[in-house]
């Protein structure tokens, strides 16, 4: 048995992880995809990828997404025939030792309700449900989306002179402290597989949204509207403007 710890993914590791993920998803009946990108991690030098090999085959893995210094988001898979052998626990011990070095106080475990083995593991850890997320998939019909009965906002790809304003807007929308908001927005600006958008009404920034790209698919995240403009349909319009923009780009 061999455990490898990495700070970044490479093509070989991604291929190995996707193979394990595919087998586990089919076995457990789950749908989520692992987020294989460390560029958003608050600490770029932290080991956030833990891989356990048996006879030179990847059989168990654990990844950490750490966009802020307060919390590490943990996802893990173990091949069905290698479960209940303590492999996940070994990887979790390694991850805990790593987050201790960086004084990260909380761990958040991602578990889909369809996974019986995942739920059993969560129960053994005495973890408590914090919140539920939903992934919504848009199947890209040919017609363009239209929103009526709200004033039109403009969607623009954010530029460097928008950076500080977007950081403050992110603070207001998501109730993040300045350093967390700065880290997330700055890394989105810098990443070559992400786009940061800003929504404006009569020239004033009122909303933000981001897009990441992987395997010919776009994921929309970080959508929000300034509190004083909420409840007026701007969030819905912002999402649809981004979808239409992505469709125009093919």
For residue 7, what pLDDT is reported?
97
How many Å apart are CA 144 and CA 241, to the nearest integer?
A: 10
Cβ atoms < 10 Å from Cβ of 38: 20
Residue keyed to tokens 């363009």: 144
Whether 243 and 145 have beta carbons less than 8 Å apart is answered as yes
- For residue 246, the surrounding DSSP H or E stretch is helix 234-248
For residue 217, what pLDDT is reported?
86
Q: Is the dihedral of CA 98, 21, 70, 187 positive or negative?
A: positive
Three-state secondary structure of 120-186: HHHHHCCCCCCCCCCCCCCCCCCCCCCCCCCCCCEEEECCHHHHHHHHHHHHHHHCCCHHHHHHHHH
Give pLDDT tens digits for 40-95. 899 999 999 999 999 999 999 999 999 888 999 999 999 999 999 999 999 999 99
Q: How far is CA 153 from CA 15, 123, 149, in A?
A: 41, 46, 12
Task: Quickly state the pLDDT bin for 248 (edges 50, 70, 90).
Answer: confident
Task: Quickly state the pLDDT bin for 32 (edges 50, 70, 90).
Answer: confident
Q: Percent of the chain having pLDDT more than 70?
A: 96
- What mean pLDDT comes out for the span 157-174? 94
For residue 215, what pLDDT is reported?
76
Model-level pTM?
0.82
Q: In what order do the strands lie in the sheet with 57-68?
A: 2-6, 49-54, 57-68, 71-78, 106-109
pLDDT exceeds 90 at position 137: no
Structure-token pair, residue 234: 């701007």
pLDDT exceeds 80 at position 11: yes
């Amino acid at each position: 048995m061999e455990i490898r710890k990495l700070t970044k993914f490479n093509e070989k590791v991604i291929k190995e992880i996707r193979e394990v993920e595919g087998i586990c998803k089919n076995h457990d009946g789950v749908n989520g995809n692992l987020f294989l990108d460390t560029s958003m991690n608050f600490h770029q030098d932290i080991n956030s990828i833990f891989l356990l090999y048996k006879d030179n085959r990847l059989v168990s893995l654990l990844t950490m997404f750490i966009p802020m210094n307060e919390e590490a988001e943990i996802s893990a898979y173990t091949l069905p025939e290698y479960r209940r052998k303590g492999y996940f626990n070994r990887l979790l011990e390694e991850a805990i030792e790593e987050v201790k070095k960086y004084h990260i106080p909380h761990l958040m475990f991602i578990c889909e309700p369809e996974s019986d083995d995942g739920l059993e593991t969560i129960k053994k850890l005495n973890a408590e449900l914090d919140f539920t997320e939903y992934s919504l998939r848009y199947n890209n019909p040919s017609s363009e989306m239209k929103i009526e009965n709200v004033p039109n906002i403009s969607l623009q790809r954010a530029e460097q002179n928008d950076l500080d304003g977007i950081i403050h807007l992110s603070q207001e929308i998501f109730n993040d402290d300045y350093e967390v908001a700065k880290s997330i927005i700055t890394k989105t600006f810098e990443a070559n597989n992400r786009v940061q958008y800003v929504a404006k009404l009569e020239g004033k920034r009122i909303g933000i949204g981001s897009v990441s790209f992987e395997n010919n698919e776009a994921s929309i995240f970080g959508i929000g509207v300034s509190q004083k403009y909420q409840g007026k349909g701007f969030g819905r319009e912002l999402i649809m403007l981004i979808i239409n923009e992505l469709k125009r780009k093919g």
